[in-house]
Amino acid sequence: MLRVFALALALLCLTSVAQAESPATEPTTTIEEVLQQLRSRSFDDKAAAIDALAHSGHPRADALLKALQDRRLLLDRANDRIVLGERADGGWRLHDPLSEADLGTVESRAAAPITINNRLRRQIENLQAVVGLNNPDAAQRRAAATSLIGTKDPDLLAALRERRAREDNTSVAAAIDTTLNTAALYSEDSDLNARLNAIEALSGSLEPTVRNALRSRLDSDAPSERKAVETALKRIDARTARYQTADTLFFGLSLGSVLLLAAIGLAITFGVMGVINMAHGELIMLGAYTTFVVQQVFPQGHEWSLLVAIPAAFLISGFVGVLIERFVIRYLYGRPLETLLATFGISLILQQAVRVIFSPLNRSVVTPEWMSGAWQINPVFSLTFNRLYIIAFALTVFLGLLLVLKKTRLGLQVRAVSQNRQTARGLGIRSDRINALTFGLGSGIAGVAGVALAQLTNVGPNLGQAYIIDSFMVVVFGGVGNLWGTLTAAFSLGIANKLLEPVSGAVLAKIFVLVFIILFIQRKPRGLFPQRGRAAEE
């Protein structure tokens, strides 16, 4: 008996030692082992690795799946390991997949992207969506639910139902409902009442996949279902048309803001000084080229280069404007035809100078990251950031100029000279100096307009010619010399142009607008808001 007790005690000690030396549970697959499994030639093995990676809970799992999709997850052949990579100098710059530490650069043949097929791509997208459904961020959960619209996968639908049961965010719940209702239309197992309820719930959705799902039921054997689908599609079409109108109005406002920037400087020189400046477009062009030059001087600073380009363009175009006024315009006051011809000649000189310095080829300006992309309001309506910023910028320039003219000594003198030049001279105002500063101010604002236009189109010698006629139309239509009239005319003509384009085309739309302005000027020669004082008398 003593011997048995001693043997049992020995076995107990050995078991305790073994438990202390080994883990309590069987070892689980590590993230490194999952990555190594991706090296397999079998797509089934890769599918298993992708599934394990998605469900690993590792903080780098989503980034690694995205890198696999983008062909940035590589096999480093020299060191026989899985790494992250990006193209650099004809080779690959490698990074550790977990720590992102720099592993140096290798030749192109020393590393190769992990190969996946379309089935694995769909698997990754679906798994990312499922993982996204449990993201703490409601916007990410909503995006994940929306990305699954149209899926017929039972597992994904089960995950959506499970998430819907505990979802407390209204927008996320609505996105999940849309996905589940769309699946009900594709399912042959759903009864008629379930499909009718789904059709009613989807009648306000603007998702393209929803529209396709509804159309797939137009050949249903049930007349009530066909009628419900037709009604739902009509509602969707009506709602889409409203958002398309809103999109047209937005583009009209953005075109109006461009016209405002291009015309507001001309409103000063033409309205205050009575000078028909045909070189105004070239002053806009100089501002655009200034933006290009600033980006060439600071090639890595395009994110903040606009902060340098705006004042630089104002100063350069303003300085050129002062030179034009001092050496040409001052000798031609009161002779509008000679002024027109002289400034037209100056415009040709500036165009040719730009061709000699920069070549006749168009130049592109890099748009900063914060101006790229769009604010997606719904699937059929989005607002591009660059146009939103330009609208805000145009209004800021307008208000700044208004404050200068209303609240500063220079503005007071400019208004005095514009209303009665002889009386202003009698009061001691140096009208020649005010003329030069006014022309420089208008030219500087034209340069600022060039900075904005450089974000929308290529920079070239003929950039200004595209806006000079429109600028004169805006100034004349709004009332010569009246800033509020210029603002109203710019946005009115921009919106009218965009509303006419879908019906008549871009060229005919411009012709219709021009004809309207001619007829309007016949009725009201001084424009919408006629100026008072000397300009009105003359």
Q: What is the CATH number of the domain that holds 393?
A: 1.10.3470
Rounded average pLDDT over 170-195: 86
Tokens 């650099």 identify what position?
A: 88
Q: What is the pLDDT of residue 265?
A: 83
Do 138 and 113 fall within a single domain?
no
User: How many Cβ atoms are within 10 Å of 524's Cβ, its own excluded?
Assistant: 12
User: How many Cβ atoms are within 10 Å of 526's Cβ, its own excluded?
Assistant: 17
Do 178 and 285 fall within a single domain?
no
Portion of the chain with pLDDT greater than 70, in percent? 91
Which range has the worst mean pLDDT, 98-107, 284-293, 444-453? 98-107
Q: Is residue 523 part of a domain?
A: yes
Do 144 and 99 fall within a single domain?
no
Do 464 and 359 fall within a single domain?
yes
Q: What is the pLDDT of residue 162?
A: 87
Do 355 and 261 fall within a single domain?
yes
Portion of the chain with pLDDT greater than 90, in percent? 19
**Most confident segment among 312-326, 413-427, 480-494:** 312-326
Q: Is residue 6 part of a domain?
A: no
Q: What is the pLDDT of residue 242?
A: 92
Do 411 and 296 fall within a single domain?
yes
Do 277 and 415 fall within a single domain?
yes
Domain end residue (candidates: 88, 119, 150) = 119
Task: Return left, alpha or beta for 213; rule: phi > 0 is left, psi -120 to 50 is alpha, else beta.
Answer: alpha
CA angle at residue 107 from 106 to 110, to 5 degrees? 85
Rounded average pLDDT over 401-426: 79
Decide if 47 contacts 120 (C-beta within 8 A): yes
- Find, among 152, 151, 197, 205, the residue nearest to 174 by Cα: 205
Do 145 and 64 fall within a single domain?
no
Do 273 and 187 fall within a single domain?
no
Report the domain count for the chain: 3
Q: What is the DSSP letter of 532?
A: P
Q: Is residue 374 part of a domain?
A: no
Q: What is the pLDDT of residue 282?
A: 92
Task: Return left, alpha or beta for 253; rule: phi > 0 is left, psi -120 to 50 is alpha, else beta.
Answer: alpha
Q: Is residue 187 part of a domain?
A: yes
Do 399 and 290 fall within a single domain?
yes
Q: Is residue 223 part of a domain?
A: no
Q: Is residue 53 part of a domain?
A: yes
Task: Write the secondary structure of 365-405 as one string of H (helix), E (strand) and C (coil).
Answer: CCCCHHHCCEEEEECCEEEEHHHHHHHHHHHHHHHHHHHHH
Tokens 């992207």 identify what position?
A: 113
**Cα–Cα distance, 538 to 526 (Å, whole number):** 11
Q: What is the pLDDT of residue 29?
A: 57
Q: Is residue 154 part of a domain?
A: yes
pTM: 0.73
**Total residue length of the chain:** 538
Q: What is the pLDDT of residue 272?
A: 67
Tokens linked to 249: 């109005």
Do 273 and 206 fall within a single domain?
no
**Cα–Cα distance, 207 to 94 (Å, whole number):** 40
Q: Is residue 7 part of a domain?
A: no
Q: What is the pLDDT of residue 14?
A: 37
Decide if 283 contacts 320 (C-beta within 8 A): yes
**Most confident segment among 19-23, 65-69, 197-201, 331-335:** 197-201
Q: What is the pLDDT of residue 17?
A: 40
Domain end residue (candidates: 81, 97, 119) = 119
Domain end residue (candidates: 77, 94, 119) = 119
Q: What is the pLDDT of residue 319?
A: 94
The predicted-structure confidence for 484-508, as pLDDT tens digits, reads as follows 888 999 999 999 988 888 888 878 8
pLDDT of 27 above 80: no
- Find, among 527, 537, 536, the residue nearest to 263 by Cα: 527
Task: Find the domain containing 190 and state its range.
Answer: 133-217
Give residue 13's pLDDT band: very low, low, confident or very high (50, 70, 90). Answer: very low
3-state class (DSSP) for residue 114: coil
Crossing angle for the helix pair 192-202 and 170-186, to the nearest 10 degrees? 130
528 vs 201, higher pLDDT: 201
User: How many Cβ atoms are within 10 Å of 300's Cβ, its own excluded?
Assistant: 7
Do 350 and 452 fall within a single domain?
yes
